Amino acid sequence: MEISRAARSDELIAPPDEVLAVMADHPVRGQAVPVYGLDDHVAVADRIDELVADWRTTYLATTSMAQERHVAARGQWAGGLRGGGAGSADQGVGEPGSDLPAP
Map out the domains of the chain as residue ranges: 1-39, 41-103
**Residue 102 has what pLDDT?**
57
Taking the C-alpha atoms of residue 43 and residue 24, their distance in angstroms, rounded to an integer, is: 13
- Walking along the chain (103 residues) 10 residues at a time, the average pLDDT comes out as 90 87 91 91 91 83 71 64 49 53 57
**Residue 46 has what pLDDT?**
92
**Residue 42 has what pLDDT?**
94
Query: Where are the strands (E) in the chain, listed by range?
Result: 2-4, 22-24, 35-37
